[in-house]
Structures are given as C-alpha cells and as structure tokens.
Amino acid sequence: MNSGFDTSLGSAGMYSGGAPSGSGPLEESLGGAGANAELQEFIAMEQQKQQLRATIQNLTDTCWEKCITGNPGTRLDSKTEACLENCVHRFFDVTVMIANRFASALQRQGGM
Amino acid sequence: MADLSRDDLMDQVKQQIALVNAQELLSKMTDKCFKKCIVKPGGSLDGSEQKCVAMCMDRYMDAWNVVSRAYANRLSQERTRMS
C-alpha cells in the first residue's frame, strides 16, 4: 500500500484514493499467481483511469463552486472558462507545494 | 463466471465502470444544479427553475470538459518539464 502521499507527481497523484496495488483478492480470484497477467494489467489500467477520473471529478466539483457564480447561462463565457483553467492549475500548484512542505516537515522531524 | 471468456469479462467490467461513472456524474449534476437553481422550493418546478436546471446541466458538462482538458495539459507539461 502506498502512504497516500507522493511528491513525484506521477500520474493522477492527487486524491490517491488508496486504490489497491499489487495482488489483492480481486486479482487472485481472476486466475492468481500471474497466470492472468493480461487481466491484471487490464485491471491496473482501469484503476488508473478511475483514479484520473476521480481527480477530474473532484476538480470539476471544486472549481465549479469557485467559478460558476450566478445562474448558468447559455454557454460558458471566456471569463468562466479562464477561471476554471486557472483553478485547475492553482490546485495543482497547491498540491505540489503542500506535498513538498509536508515532506520537508517530516524530514525535519526525522520521521519516515 | 468460470465459462466467461476473458474478453467478455473485460467488457463487463468496462460496462460496469461506465455505468458507475454515469451514475456519479448524474448525481453530481443533480446536486450542483439543485443547489444552484432551486433557491426556495415551491409547489412545483416553475419555468425559470426548469430553464436554470437545463442550462446548469449543460454548463456542468462543459466545465467537466474544460477541467479535464486543463488537467491533462498540465500533466503532460509537468512530464516534459521533468524529463
């Protein structure tokens, strides 16, 4: 299991929901012991896609609250669209910043 | 399950994932648009509330697309920056 905290920015690192990694009960029931490498790869891929999707869903949620003020119009105006894009980028920045600060805080304490 | 071919199994998994994703999006949109459009619940959904809900749903999907494009761009930016 990962610790849920990762400074490498791998793929959909944010909101890592603790998706099961390696072989779990699901993988085992599908053939187990590497007999079904293709299936395992498929599952790993789908998990990654779901994690990415969850991140985007969460971001949409958060940025909708920040950027869509007032009643929704007939289209997203350019200001709102820019706000949504900025929101994504700033959220990303904050994720990286907090991860780094948290990592150095842990190091200072000599933990992990 | 024993006589399910691997491709069938993968298809089923994909279908179930798609279903769950659609349900999640649906419930998110309902939640957001209810909050935005129904300020004070009356005896029925009136015309302006219905219009608002319809717009809201379309704009939510637009927002989803804008966010996912921006996020994908940022991920690939970060990847090239780090390599």
Rounded CA-CA distance A18/A32 in Å is 21
CB atoms within 10 A of CB A39: 17
* Cβ neighbours of B28 in A, within 8 Å: 57, 60-61
- Domains (range + CATH), chain A: 25-108 (1.10.287.810)
Number of domains in chain B: 1
B1 within some domain: no
pLDDT digit string, tens, across residues A2-38: 333 333 333 443 444 444 445 556 545 555 555 578 8
- The per-residue pLDDT for range A71-96, each reduced to its tens digit, is 999 999 999 999 999 999 999 999 99
Pick the residue of B16, B50, B51, B66 with the most A CBs within 10 A to test the interface with A by mutation. Answer: B66
Complex ipTM, two decimals? 0.87
Residue B32 within a domain: yes
In three-state secondary structure terms, A45 is helix
The pTM score is 0.76
Per residue in B30-74, pLDDT tens?
999 999 999 999 999 999 999 999 999 999 999 999 999 999 999
Range of the domain at B16: 6-82
What percent of chain A is predicted at pLDDT more than 90?
60
Instruction: Classify residue B42: in a domain, yes or no.
Output: yes
The enclosing domain of B45 has a CATH number of 1.10.287.810
Which among B9, B36, B67 has CB closest to A84? Answer: B67
